[in-house]
Amino acid sequence: MQVIHKNVGIVGTGAMGRGIAQIAAQAGSVVKLMDAQAGAAEKAREAICAQWDKLVEKGRLEAALATACKARLLLCRTLADLADCDLVIEAIVERLDVKQTLFAELEALVPAHTVLVSNTSSLSVTAIAAALKHPERFAGYHFFNPVPLMKVVEVIAGLKTSAAVCSTLADYARQMGHMPVQAQDTPGFIVNHAGRGYGTEALRIVGEGIADFVTVDRILREQAGFKLGPFELMDLTGLDVSHPVMESIYHQYYEEDRYRPSVITAQRLAGGMLGRKTGEGFYRYVNGVSQTPAEAPAPEVADLPPVWVSPRAARRSELLQLLKNLGANIETGVSASPQALMLVAPLGFDITTVAVVERLDPARTVGIDMLMDDATTRRRVLATNPVTRIDMRDAAHALFARDGKAVSVIRDSGGFVTQRVVATIVNIASDICQQGICSPKDLETAVTLGLGYPMGPLAMGDRCGPTNILEVLFNMQTVYGDQRYRPSPWLRRRGAIGLSLLHEES
């Protein structure tokens, strides 16, 4: 197979530069490492070669191929040594002025056919290329760390980037064993843009006193199906990385409400509680292991009250069947008896609002989140309102824990936890499609590979039902009066007619 770019230059030999160099050499390219810091390129080459040796020991790389890769990994002393490269990839500090200066120097050295790319994660590709004489050969080429394991790369076109350049970069990404996705030059591109909903909405939930960090993490792992809870994820990434990204995208979109950061992370960043790297973040770490408090057992209730279910409950037939399976004494009258536990299952509304609108006794009213199919979850979530009686709260908790499934009881919240977070993720993803930043297909690929979500955000919306997600957002906007929850036109139109969020207009 012919190598698309025979000679590749890498400027910047940090973790990202090393990772790109490794996969480029494995793809058959001659890779030239260059770093302005004395000795950095040499150390990078040693680290890459050591990585290949480990892969050989584990049987994941043939010894002959490792030897060949090492022979293709060269060191450069100056930028002039990159003059014969077909492709030069920059992976240096995230400063616009520094990148502009570098590419102006490179443009004067390399031949006309050389493609110049930046691995920037947050800067405008168009702005970096603004000072170039030939911006048509410049693009963004955003890999994710660790590069050999994170199999997605964003190919970003600036306003003047040639379509042929993007096509060639996509082909080269495939040759390196990665999946390319095409993105327009907008703040956060695809992955960092789409990822805004998960952490920021979770922070709002904690900030409202609805649940603590560990409870939110448990709910989103075990009810919504995420691999890591948002606070576990922020601890892993480090707030010195994640909070500045929140602020950057928020400001680049001129204070768009959907991307509003949280004072919680700002305060913790200022206090040095960054996560695993400092031994303390949202969790405390001992020898790298998070110290998670044990979950309290379900209360023991000797005599459970009868249960009455609101006729407006989401998935009402499924909820009634669940109660039957749990052995509940179900009331079927138009209204509840004076002794009954009153169950509501709203979409987007809080329990207080539902109790008032439906004229229920709030002291006996408890809510349950039924957005997800109960059979697909490992946790149920109940919510009380400010006057729910303790005996009714405990009775509901004990009842829904009867079959051994975990139960979380949270304070009143429009949209519980899962509804809020999932609807926010789906809404932001829908607006990415509405803006034409990328295709729905590339969005799903980028988010699944780049963020590790259980499925793409549009598929997530389809699983819950676009109409349900739309209802959650409308009702949350009513409860909170916050433009953050206004539905994207992409979601509004598809939700209104029951169309898949993955559907592209012809």
* Among candidate residues 248, 262, 120, 200, the one with its CA nearest the CA of residue 423: 200
* Among candidate residues 257, 276, 273, the one with its CA nearest the CA of residue 265: 273
Cβ burial, residue 241 (10 Å; 0-12/13-18/19+) = middle
Active site residue 192: yes
Active site residue 178: no
From 192, 290, 427, 468, active-site residue: 192
- In this structure, how many other beta carbons lie within 10 angstroms of the beta carbon of residue 369? 28
Q: Positive or negative CA dihedral for 246, 249, 255, 259?
A: negative
Residues with Cβ within 8 Å of 71's Cβ and at least 6 positions away in sequence, in order, are none
Inter-helix orientation angle 230-237/196-207, to 10° = 110
Longest Cα pair distance anywhere in the chain, in angstroms? 85
From 7, 29, 119, 121, active-site residue: 121
Active site residue 475: no
Active site residue 121: yes
From 142, 178, 193, 397, active-site residue: 142
* Among candidate residues 316, 294, 299, 298, the one with its CA nearest the CA of residue 307: 316
From 7, 29, 90, 154, active-site residue: 154
Q: What is the spatial order of strands in the sheet that 307-309 belongs to?
A: 330-331, 307-309, 341-344, 365-368, 379-383, 406-410
Q: Are 384 and 456 in contact (CB under 8 A)?
A: no
Three-class SS of 152-216: EEEEEECCCCCHHHHHHHHHHHHHCCCEEEEEECCCCCCHHHHCHHHHHHHHHHHHCCCCCHHHH
Active site residues: 121, 142, 154, 192
